[in-house]
Structure 1
Amino acid sequence: MTKMRTKWRTSITKIEPNKIIIRGIPIERLIGSISFPEVVYLLIKGKLPSEKEARMLEAVLVSFADHGVTPPSTQVSRIIASTGSPVNACIAGGLLAFGKHHAGAIEHAMKLFQNSVELCDSEDDIPEVARDVVNKYISKGKKIPGYGHRFHNEDPRPVRLFELAEELNFKGPHMVFALEVEKILNELKNIKMNVDGACASILSDLGFDWRIGVGMFMLGRLPGIIAHIYEERTKEPPFRKFFDVDEIEYEEEQIFRPPKLKTPE
């Protein structure tokens, strides 16, 4: 008996000879008609955003654009670029550097915000739930994702993002929750929200699932990584030294201890 092949199924893009249909819309109708953030929204959510939603998503992507040579992902990309590797390898190395301690906070924050808001019957419940969350994290000695920054005492990006949200009258429950947590943390520990927390709340109010958080961060950071790769390849000597030999301290650690041999009689 011949086993039937299972067909691939997708509702994202349909490809036919001389035709490309994205979420039911021919590609030629999209080109020149919508912005890149709008097509990102369309691809992931399956519908076109409103003007406010498009503006907020665009602001999120811009806020992620670059953070100098300080992030590990940028450093990895530049190190790979200095070896003469092709640009795709340099980009891949940078993106693979995203993990739990770099870029991972946005997904943790989105999950926290979305789960917490689900516990609220109305916005009146948000302050109490926010207080419970803060107390829970503090009692366990854990850092709340989306708050505090290793470099900035006050990250300038959340301030502008929330200003724009006010200008557009775009302020949903996740944003309200995130700001309430910041208010409590600021009073207790002088800790403010970082860009991950701000964008996590905005993306949650835009209806994005927390599991695509790092993907959205990658979309925003990619232009910055490409710029650093290009700068490294065109302005720095190849195989650039990031450390001199005398800056490296070797610590001998004896992991394997050879067995004592009997002395011959």
Structure 2
Amino acid sequence: MSEDQGFPTSLGMSTTSTITLLGEDIADLMATHSLTELVYRMVTLRPPTKGQARLLDACLIALADHGFTPTAIAARLTYLSAPDSVQGALAAGLLGGGSRFLGVTEDCGEFLHEVVETFDGLDDPPPTSQAWDEIAREVVAEAKAEHRIIPGLGHPVHKEQDPRTPALVEIAAEEGCYGPHLALFEAIGRVHPEILGRRLVLNGAGVVGAALADIGLPIRLLRGFALLARAAGLLGQLAEEERMPVARDIYDLVEENAVFVDPTAAREEDGDG
């Protein structure tokens, strides 16, 4: 490397006989850190508190696996097609993490953060629940007037309550990690029916976004934590595909029930005739 050229990093470095990460010997980190703690440190460059690590761990578990979602099906079908490429199957599943699946974590965290960062002195003293309710009313009313969807409000399956929501809120409170993002999201959950005219649940993935924002993780990287969690879930899906394969049945079902539609008729149905 030339004297005037350098590529700075605070993460991993290697020599012929050593590996360091965050400036520390890798063996020492292996003996003292969980993967969750290490990920937090690598992203923020500061060690998490015990409570932050526990809440992050809970958030990762909350997003790990939800059964036969499109991401899981994509991973299994790719594994069926290329059983020699575990990395391809995992990648196929992760690429499906977007606005409808997994993306709500980042979308919700970003939505809440835009509101929270407009207020000064939120910790001195912290707003009461009634104060948060007033803020939430303004937020929901504005979203309604602009015909905007509030990310994390509502769930396609859990219509009464997302079971992850109270569990994550309880852990955040127990660990002293309950902050303004969770407070605002809970307030939105309380007040939105009076403005929208219907009750929607607080989506657990949205709560994860609020919780991750409250423990100081970068808003623009929140989807990355959802993908980290889902990578673990997809590995479990591929292991189950080995034990109890279903990908071939899914493929056969679609193939055997494919129905040809005349291209001309299809164009007319789309209004292109």
TM-score normalised per structure 2: 0.84
1:129 is aligned to: 135
1:141 aligns with 2:147: yes
Which range moves more in the overlay, 153-162 or 140-149? 140-149
SS at match of 1:159: helix
Which range moves more in the overlay, 243-252 or 150-159? 243-252
The Cα shift of 1:148 comes to 0.7
Q: Deviations over 1:93-117 (max 9, x none)?
A: 1111112222111111111111110
Q: Deviations over 1:52-80 (max 9, x none)?
A: 111111111111121001x2111100111
> Which of 214, 223, 228 does residue 219 from structure 1 map onto?
228
1:24–1:41 distance in 2 versus 1, CA, 3 Å: same
1:135–1:157 distance in 2 versus 1, CA, 3 Å: same
Letter in 1 for 2:75: S
1:260 is aligned to: none
Residues in 1 aligned to 2:51 and 2:240: alpha-carbon distance in whole angstroms: 35
1:252 aligns with 2:262: yes
The Cα shift of 1:238 comes to 6.8
1:232 is aligned to: 241
1:76 is aligned to: 74
Identity %: 26
2:28 is aligned to: 29
Answer yes or no: is the 8 Å Cα contact 1:186–1:192 preserved in 2: no
Please identify the structure whose Cα radius of gyration is greater: 1
The Cα shift of 1:246 comes to 5.7
1:78-157 equivalent positions in 2, closer than 5 A: 78-85=76-83, 86-121=85-120, 122=122, 123-124=126-127, 126-153=132-159, 154-157=161-164
TM-score normalised per structure 1: 0.87
Higher helix share: 2
The Cα shift of 1:166 comes to 2.2
Unaligned runs of 5+ in 2: 269-273
1:48 aligns with 2:47: yes
Residues in 1 aligned to 2:226 and 2:144: alpha-carbon distance in whole angstroms: 27
SS at match of 1:32: helix
2:165 is aligned to: 158
Taking only aligned residues, the RMSD between alpha carbons, in angstroms, comes to 2.4
Q: Deviations over 1:163-212 (max 9, x none)?
A: 11222232111111111111112444211211121111110111111111
Residues in 2 aligned to 1:73 and 1:205: alpha-carbon distance in whole angstroms: 27
Residues in 1 aligned to 2:86 and 2:21: alpha-carbon distance in whole angstroms: 28
Answer yes or no: is the 8 Å Cα contact 1:110–1:213 preserved in 2: yes
Answer yes or no: is the 8 Å Cα contact 1:82–1:233 preserved in 2: no
Residues in 2 aligned to 1:241 and 1:28: alpha-carbon distance in whole angstroms: 45
1:262 is aligned to: none
Which range moves more in the overlay, 152-161 or 17-26? 17-26
1:181-192 equivalent positions in 2, closer than 5 A: 181-187=188-194, 188-192=197-201
Letter in 1 for 2:114: N
1:237–1:166 distance in 2 versus 1, CA, 3 Å: closer
Unaligned runs of 5+ in 1: 258-265
Residues in 1 aligned to 2:55 and 2:34: alpha-carbon distance in whole angstroms: 13
Q: How many residues align?
A: 254
